[in-house]
Structure 1
């Protein structure tokens, strides 16, 4: 696709070219036939602005010449529907049809051939599907744009032979059938200025005859299956301004003669296997953006790049380049970003890349740069990221760099920096990450750091910091990780750390901290790892730490004493208590016994006293056990009396119910337990009238909190858990056959019950992936298809049918439940989020969350690093479910390879394989041959849903239409159930990679 700078050049050029060829003066009245055609188009696309009593030439977007309709421009007007091409092509004077950037769908039928006078046809950025028909009759065509749709099959390349005047051909971003070689028909279009063939499954080598297209201004062949060398004949394209070849398998050197492209502004050949030096680049003096990352280039960067007057983007990371970067780099234009990471560069960082005040990202990590950070960057207020880790840089960091107002990441780790962290860091309101580990920073951690309220990570380990940890650090409520190990910090651990509620990792080891461990650390309910080892801490381990769900705990090499809290005395933490001579435990093998006999010579009096105490304790326990047993029997025998006496329950119904809260409450017992989820336990409750319901029990108090703490929490007026409120808020207003029914809620001070319809066939996960589910018969393909369609309709309703869109945030096969007929229900809305409306007239909010919610293998890639949720996150997760249905495999399997999931596995198989044949091989072997074609279609829809770039994923409304089209050949029962508009997009060859300008994190 065109990057913004070239797009700003191309769009005015197109509009000027188009409308200078037509008469825009007021037109006389057109015929009734033309009015009828336009009203038909109005009805098909829902164009409210066109009035039935109006004159066609006065319709918005309609242009007339000599009283006849000559142009229709509805581009980017958000119209939706299926275009009646047969009708539109009855407009005899129509020369321009602009419909790009909308929500149009369906097939482009052969009726388009009737538009014989068309000169400009733009259908790009829609949801069209099916094969592109023969276009040979469109002999006058000058511009053809079909890009960014779902066209399949083989493009009718032969049609291009009849279009000698074609100057713009854009058919990229479509899952066309892979070509066997570069299409020769394109090479005969000598009038071409714009050629966009990216991401449309073109296979083979770039032919030398590409040099015949001497009028080309823009050539984009990226994200295809091209291999071999770049032909030197490409140097004949003297007018070329943009050359995009990224994400292919090109090899060899940059061809001699490439330097002849003196007008080239944008050059991207990244992510190939190119090698050799960059000497040809020195002649490309008009470059604005140069992207050559992830190749095998070596040698030095030509010093001439420092004199390029227009260069603003330079990305050369992950090569083998060495030597000095040109020191004048970025001095002339408004330099935007540089990423030369993971090379072998030496010498100083160029000082003037922010000279024009526009620098946003400076990424020079993993090289051998030396010297100091240039002082000029202390005033670079536009800077968002400064990453220079793993180099040989030293000296003090320029003071102003710490307080840059827009800086989000400063990463200087593993260098030789010294000096103090400037207190001005508190002014860096956008700063989310400080990484300065492995340096020689000294002085105190400034108390002013609490002003950087967006901080998520502070990594200052292995420096020379001293003094106390400031109490103000507790104000950093977004802090996820605090790493201060390996310094000389002293004093007490501030109790205010307990206020950093988002902390997941805390490491203060290898310092000189003293005093007791603050009990407030037990408030860090998200804490996963705690390391306080190798300090001078004393006193007892707070019992409040037992409430934490830790996976790692290290308190070793301190002066702690007393009994280790029972919740922490587990084998997994056995080494975490070493070298604390005063610690003990009761009957714990790796801890010294807390018995007084282990502390010195035996004493008869002490033995007698202890025996008496033990005997008394045994009697007390026996009495307590007797009364406890009696109490339990009373509770089971007279539940109603106990409930009315000890608890005040409140029931709120959302549907008509025939039971009361007492019947439900009595049934919440272990013998009725059928499962445990992330937000509560689920019970099967037989109402005794032939009806069964499912009850989810959610505790309001945090797990592990008891006694006085629990009592205090239970008295809060808003004690119910977030999961409870999310489910009630979402489901109480939802009425859809494919969303689980919520009958009522029953709440008390310390727990909440949600009563749902009972789905006897369990979850889709169980039926697909567990031995028990397979014993019960698993799911045949017909059932899987119905599950796919039904679940997609449920999500479509949540996204498009509610007053405000509901994002589920945890779509997965275990949250799709099956009724007695295997009809699906979307369930478990504990993470759901209702998108709030923005300011009046504004777009919907892509809500931000501070915790990544969801399940590994189903999470959209952008969610983890943007922390923003919208409907496209659900679409991605549902795409994974479709892949499960088609392949029968789990989202994560060992066979996929390291760091790969089903999405990447499917993509790799499709790219390496051979179109349809490779897709069939991915289908679950248990699916019969007669249904495999349909399964392949569903698999390809799953690929479309899991595109890495969210904007390329379809809406759930479009997904429903695709799935219904995929089942067009099914039995009348299935097709009748499907209904809706036909629209299938068979997707093969799409890369899940982002297609925008890329820089390393």
Structure 2
């Protein structure tokens, strides 16, 4: 009887529990659907299966939902993971009404808005909260004491601002804290040292006020991962850090840490990876590092470390060994080559001497080898690619001798070789030319031989640089099969024969240097098909024939040197199309004749014209003036009569046709007027002459037109008619569709357009001071340079930002410019900026609640070199954050006065990387240097290397420049999600304006 009663009781209990769980499941489903409807925007339909039906009321098989099966039921929702679902909207507090929920993961979406700490208290039962890569703004949310079970908090890559709240120091159960990539302020808080359960702490890429690493972090004894990369840390590494014996990964790279590395580093017995690169550490490497037997990744590059490298460290079985950019000396012991784990070996920019260990690569799967810029002697190790894994050999700027080992020719894994500026000699192995390389640089050695036709098998080659050697023979035609070539530098060799006419197949070619060889024949006209070409240098050869007029069609050519050849004929007037783009123009010491085209009759071009005895031109001493050919009296009389008759005929024709012209519109022209104007297209036609050209580009020619009324216009003429270029049509349509409806004081005004059969033109207001790029980079001769003080530059920055903000946020539909640069910011007589050139502009296809938009994928990269956002390298999509990046580059131009890719920044550095390094450079104050500006915590930032020396600045100017620099670095963040909107950028700049 008892057994039956017990069984009945259990049965009833199970039925009750089942009913309860079913009811609970139904309630959870209702909560989920309600939140989806009210708080989330699912434009991609990823949550379409969140639907309650009569036969299917459990949410446990819905997308992103996980239910608890550990309690014998699948009905209790425990996890909501909607990572990468392309959701927008605000934080869904309603999810927390699900009583069993412990994990909310919403990373990689477009959620926005602030997180209200009071509303968040509803979620106090959760254990995991992951919101990485969204668009949340405002202060970091506070967490009340009820969040006693919170174990994981990840808020990386949002727009949270302000200081880290003290309540975070009371989350004593926290095991993971990740705030990377947020624009937070304040200092690295010491109270985080209270979180003794932490195993992972990440505070990287945060613009803290310069501050030291809190000594309290030494209390985090369970920590295995500590990442404080690029967090503006200063001072010495506290000794307490070396007590974290469970630490496996220590990343303090890209800060301004000083002092020596303590010998106590040897206590980190569990350490697997140490990243201390790009700091200001000094002294010698402590030998105790050699006791860290689990260490596999060691990078102390870009510091001020000195002395020999202890043999104990070299003997470690490291996978990655990076010591570059220090002051290490001495020789490398042979024991280094015995390491079976070594994959990455980088010690460049030091003062190492002696020979390289001969057996390097023989016992390990070495993939990257960089010993460049040292003082190594002897030969290259022959077995670097013994394991057939080697990808890079970089050994330039040493004193290496001998031949290139034959074994390298068998290394099919190699894709990158730079061994310039050594003393290598002998023939280059034929198989070496055939490797699947992307870059081959052998310049400035003593190598010889010829380029074999089999180089055509190196199909990935983009840079071929072998200048300054003793190579001979003809340039093989097969080189034209290398369709990815961007750079060809064969200069200063003994190549002979002609330039292959098939060069037109190299559509990606940007730089062609063949100067100082023995080349003959003519310059192939087909080179005009290389539309990406920026530099053409064929000087000091034996080239003959005329200069191809087609060179004038190269849209981005800015360096042309054809000097010291045997070129003849006239200087083609078509080259005038290059006039405003050329930084170098030299056709001197040839056999050119005839009159110098009017546009080149200026002192700036004179040095590049000398040495052509038969050239002539007015007022170009020492070039002789042109003389008219002698004419007989008979020819003169006939000419005068013909002119009189022709003039009379034209007058008669004008009188007869004038009534017709006034009665009928010109059917071949379609004129659209966008502003109130006092002129017609007929007033413009006579002024579209060569003498009025003020600019040219790939889409057309720009003229300065002065009307009889005195009004000055800028007219851009584009090709038209049946033979027009597709890109010209695209530019015309984009300019008209965009500027025709835009009205803003910081966007150039389109007054009218004329769409004709022969050509089409656009008429704009004229900007007296040209472009910002001209003023910044054209030198002292520019009329507006003297006006470009810091106050003016700041005003230009504000105005340009307001123009772009209008395009992104106030125009309907919103517009992305896609080619923001200093040359496309025009300046009027009062130096007020106007954003111009909308030939690449596109409307934004969709707008999320946070204002972040997207457009259709582009078929090719748009924009200008140096201004293009890094995400172009891995995605074909573009949104307004690409414009924000380009604007950040313009801000850096205004601060520095330098071009985005100025050679003074150093190899492989652009203005963004250079400015970032400068921004992290803190030092002691100097009475003589006002550029050492004190920040809010009394530290000094040295801006002297970055700020344009042409400006006379006060201390308050430096303070303001520093704040603008911070805005620029925020705009040029590598990750689009970390960049502000243009509206926010305007606010930040206006906040930076110091009040009197």
TM-score range, shorter chain: 0.7 to 0.9
Give, in angstroms, the shift of residue 146 of structure 1.
1.3
Task: Establish whether residue 951 from structure 1 lines up as the match of residue 951 from structure 2.
Answer: no
CA shift for structure 1 position 520: 4.8
Query: Counterpart of 2:633?
Result: 612
User: Which of 338, 341, 349 is 1:310 aligned to?
Assistant: 341
Deviation of the 1:278 alpha carbon: 1.8
In the other structure, the counterpart of 2:883 is 874
Supply the distance in 1 between the matched residues of 2:363 and 2:737 (Cα, whole angstroms). 56
Between 912-921 and 425-434, report the one with greater CA deviation: 912-921
Q: Tell me, in whole angstroms, the C-alpha distance in 1 between the residues paired with 2:356 and 2:660.
A: 80
**In the alignment, what sits opposite 1:142?**
175
Question: Does 2:127 correspond to 1:95?
Answer: yes
1:368 pairs with 386, 396, 399, which one? Answer: 399
Deviations 1:121-180 (A, max 9, x none): 11122222222111233111122111221121234322432x22222111121112222x
Q: CA deviation at 1:326?
A: 2.5
Q: 1:288 aligns with which of 308, 311, 319?
A: 319
Equivalent in the alignment of 2:718 = 700
CA distance in 2, matches of 1:801, 1:824: 22
Q: CA deviation at 1:811?
A: 4.4
Secondary structure at the aligned position of 2:383 is classed as: coil
Aligned to 1:128: 160
Secondary structure (helix, strand or coil) at the match of 2:468 reads: coil
C-alpha spacing 1:44/1:830, structure 2 compared with 1 (3 Å)? same
Q: Which runs of 5+ in 2 are unaligned?
A: 1-20, 77-99, 847-853, 923-932
Contact 1:860–1:876 (CA under 8 A) maintained in structure 2 = yes
Matched, 1:810 2:820: yes
Rounded Cα–Cα distance in structure 1 between residues aligned with 2:755 and 2:584 = 35
Looking at structure 2, the residues matched to 36 and 768 of structure 1 have their Cα atoms a distance apart, in angstroms, of: 59
SS in 2 for 1:796: helix
The answer to whether residue 736 in structure 2 is matched with residue 728 in structure 1 is yes
Q: What residue number does 1:995 align with?
A: none
Preserved contact between residue 192 and residue 215 of structure 1 (Cα < 8 Å): yes
Q: Is the 8 A contact 1:85 1:111 kept in 2?
A: yes
How many Å separate the matches in 2 of 1:728 and 1:652?
Answer: 9
Q: What SS does the aligned partner of 1:177 have?
A: coil
Q: Which residue of 1 aligns with 2:536?
A: 506
Written as runs of structure 1 = structure 2, the 5 A alignment for 1:509-524 is 509-518=539-548, 520-521=550-551, 523-524=553-554
Query: Is the deviation greater in 335-344 or in 575-584?
Result: 575-584
Partner of 2:808: 796
The alpha-carbon distance between structure 1 residues 779 and 515, as it changes in their structure 2 partners (threshold 3 A), is closer
Higher relative contact order (CA 8 A, sep 6+): 1
Shift, 1:784, TM fit: 8.7
Deviation of 1:343 after TM superposition, in Å, equals: 0.8
The question of 1:158 aligning with 2:191 is answered yes
1:753 paired residue number: 761
Match of 2:966 in 1: 940
Q: Does the 8 Å CA contact 1:738/1:794 hold for their aligned counterparts?
A: no
Change (3 A) 1:682 1:43: farther
1:227-279 CA-to-partner distances (Å, cap 9, x unmatched) read 01000101110110111111111000111201111111211111110111122
Counterparts of 1:741 and 1:489, CA distance in 2 = 51
Aligned to 1:8: none
Note the aligned Cα RMSD (angstroms): 5.5
Q: What 5-or-longer segments of structure 1 have no aligned partner?
A: 1-25, 598-608, 702-712, 971-1001
Q: Deviations over 1:692-718 (max 9, x none)?
A: 9997522235xxxxxxxxxxx866244
Q: Secondary structure at the match of 1:395?
A: strand
Find the aligned partners of 2:663 and 2:447 in 1 and give their Cα distance: 66
The answer to whether the 8 Å contact 1:835/1:845 transfers is: no
Kept in 2, the 8 Å contact 1:346–1:369? The answer is: yes
After superposition, the Cα gap between the structure-2 partners of 1:35 and 1:206, relative to the gap in structure 1 and judged at 3 Å, is: farther
CA distance, structure 2, for counterparts of residue 831 and residue 142 of structure 1 = 49
**Aligned twin of 1:69:** 101
1:434 to partner: Cα distance: 1.5
Q: Given the two structures, how large is their TM-score scaled by the length of structure 1?
A: 0.74
CA displacement at 1:451 relative to structure 2: 1.1
Note closer, same or farther for the CA distance 1:378–1:644 as it changes in structure 2 (3 Å cut): farther
Counterpart among 167, 177, 190 of residue 209 in structure 2: 177
Q: Provide closer, same or farther for how the CA distance between residues 919 and 845 of structure 1 changes in structure 2, counting only shifts above 3 A.
A: farther
Residue 553 of structure 1 deviates from its aligned partner by 4.7
- 2:9 is matched with none
CA contact (8 A) 1:29 1:55 kept: no
Instruction: Give the corresponding residue for 2:723.
Output: 716
Shift of 1:389: 0.8
What do the CA deviations read for 1:962-994 (whole angstroms, capped 9, x no partner)? 655898999xxxxxxxxxxxxxxxxxxxxxxxx
Residue aligned with 1:462, SS: coil
CA distance in 1, matches of 2:632, 2:992: 83
Preserved contact between residue 430 and residue 452 of structure 1 (Cα < 8 Å): yes
CA shift in 2, pair 1:836/1:78, >3 Å: closer
Q: Secondary structure at the match of 1:651?
A: strand
Match of 1:853 among 864, 869, 879: 864
- Following the alignment from structure 2 to structure 1, what is the Cα–Cα distance between the partners of residues 607 and 953? 49
Instruction: Select which of 24, 30, 44 maps to 1:29.
Output: 24
Q: Distance in 2 between matches of 1:518 and 1:823?
A: 41
Deviations 1:161-213 (A, max 9, x none): 2x22222111121112222x431110111111111122222221112332211
For residues 413-452 of structure 1, what are the structure 2 equivalents within 5 Å? Answer: 413-452=443-482
Give the Cα–Cα distance (whole angstroms) in 2 for the partners of residues 818 and 583 of structure 1. Answer: 39
Structure 2 CA distance for partners of 1:553 and 1:902, relative to 1, 3 Å: closer
For residues 819 and 542 of structure 1, the distance between their equivalents in structure 2, rounded to whole angstroms, comes to 35
- SS of the equivalent of 1:258 reads helix
Flag the 1:73–1:412 CA change in 2: closer, same or farther, 3 A: same
Instruction: Tell me if the contact between 2:251 and 2:275 (Cα under 8 Å) persists in the aligned partners.
Output: yes
CA contact (8 A) 1:44 1:84 kept: no
Retained in 2: the 8 A contact 1:118–1:140? yes
SS at match of 1:698: strand
**Distance in 2 of aligned mates of 1:551 and 1:939:** 28
| Aligned partner of residue 184 in structure 2, secondary structure | strand
**What CA distance in whole angstroms lies between the structure 1 residues aligned with 2:302 and 2:552?**
48
Alpha-carbon spacing, 1:486–1:874, altered in 2? closer, same or farther (3 Å): same
Measure, in 1, the Cα distance between the counterparts of 2:490 and 2:805: 50
Deviations 1:485-529 (A, max 9, x none): 322233444443444444443333333344555555555465444
Q: Pairwise mapping of residues 41-80 of structure 1 onto structure 2 (< 5 A)?
A: 44=39, 46=41, 49=47, 51=50, 60=64, 68-77=100-109, 79-80=111-112
Q: Is the CA contact 1:903–1:946 (under 8 Å) kept in the aligned structure 2?
A: no
Distance change in 2, residues 1:340/1:726 (3 Å): farther
Deviation at residue 914 of structure 1 after TM alignment: 3.8
Q: Are residue 328 (structure 1) and residue 359 (structure 2) matched? A: yes
1:70 and 1:116 mapped to 2: Cα distance?
12
Once residues 148 and 518 of structure 2 are traced to their aligned partners in structure 1, the CA distance between those partners, rounded to angstroms, is 81
Query: In 2, distance between residues paired with 1:741 and 1:523?
Result: 28
What SS is found at the alignment partner of 1:297?
strand
Shift in Å at residue 390 of structure 1? 0.7
Q: 2-side partners of 1:514 and 1:897: how far apart?
A: 33
Asked whether the 8 Å contact 1:788–1:882 carries over to 2, the reply is no
CA distance in structure 1 between the aligned counterparts of 2:960 and 2:486, rounded to whole angstroms = 46
The 1:792–1:777 alpha-carbon spacing in structure 2 relative to 1, beyond 3 Å, is same
Quote how far apart the aligned CAs of 1:385 are: 2.1
